Amino acid sequence: MASSTRDVQLILEGLVSFASQGLQEIDLQENFCVIQKLGDGGYGSVLMVQDKKTDQKMALKLLDRNKTTEFAFLMEFSKSFFLSSHPNIIGSYGTAFKTWDCFAFAQELPIGDLCSLITPHDGLPEDTVKRCAVQISSALEFIDSKGLVHLDIKPENILIFDEDCHCIKNTDFGLSCIKGTMAKNRIGTVSYMAPEISQVTDKDCLLLASLLVSGLKVVWSFGIVLYGLFTVEFPWYSAVFTNKTYSSFLEWQCHFENIEPPSPWSRFPPTVLKMFSGLLAIDCSKRHKSCEVLMFLEEYWQGQIIVI
């Protein structure tokens, strides 16, 4: 386990240096058969490919060379490789290269992501959500133990390897940061951001203190993910005071013992509300660790008996 911020920095710098020495420019079409595009993002895309030499199928993450630097690419590749030994983090093959227009690295091939399982009107079954909770929590605890923070936990970044979610894996470490460092700006997806991030602006005098990177910010995102897996919706667009649904949640959290939960939350049993209150504690110093969801596995999350 990395013992300090400096330890993690040195490990990643070493991995980046090693990877840079072997980063060759190749012709993608000559070396791989492109089967299909799996996804698109702001900085690139993910392809399903088959290696022409080995016939192995894999996922290639491509980053546009006009939108990212070689160092940023190598850092993302190194973080992914550094964490890939955990069973709930996407496996990396250690293969990185560049083409004339992109950087690329190879990862194991999933069948989809959590979003692909969610229908417009139905959330996932309780047993499936519990399996997801256990595995996501395990991955977050491992990432934290290695001195990193993911900072962009959402269903699109949680890959599935079977439709019942017996095996899911976190992916996409492009926005991840070293724990205890300062983020240069707000990082992540708005609807999953903790209030201490979403409520600051670039001109806020408390910006640097608010954006100190810690795993407690990711726990909030974890809570939003679990809520969405059940309800197929966000509890609010952004955790800011001007958002009415968030303000109702805030008032309830401040008077938890004395008032009834607002309507979006009243669908959950009291024990599950207690779990969410820990994951989504407004005061980040009181926010639970992700592993504390394990204490609620024997409870009824939707009023039925569950076998994991």
The pLDDT assigned to 199 comes to: 78
Helix (H, G, I), strand (E, B) or coil at 246: helix
What ranges do the domains of the chain cover? 5-107, 112-296
The pLDDT assigned to 184 comes to: 61
Q: How far apart are CA 261 and CA 194, in angstroms?
A: 20
Q: Which fold has domain 112-296?
A: Transferase(Phosphotransferase); domain 1 (1.10.510)
The pLDDT assigned to 197 comes to: 83
Q: How far apart are CA 288 and CA 294, in angstroms?
A: 12
61 carries a ligand binding annotation? yes
pTM: 0.91
Q: Which CATH superfamily is domain 5-107 in?
A: Phosphorylase Kinase; domain 1 (3.30.200.20)
The pLDDT assigned to 304 comes to: 45
Residues marked as catalytic: 152
Cβ neighbors of 4 (< 8 A, separation 6 or more) are 147
The pLDDT assigned to 305 comes to: 39
The mean pLDDT values, 10 residues at a time, for the chain of 308 residues are 78 95 95 94 89 96 95 96 96 93 96 90 91 98 94 95 97 90 74 86 50 77 96 93 94 84 89 94 92 94 54
Rounded to an integer, what is the distance from CA 12 to the centroid of its chain?
20
Q: How far apart are CA 264 and CA 27, in angstroms?
A: 52
C-beta separation of 296 from 271 below 8 A: yes
Among 69, 68, 94, 98, CA closest to 81:
94
The pLDDT assigned to 185 comes to: 63
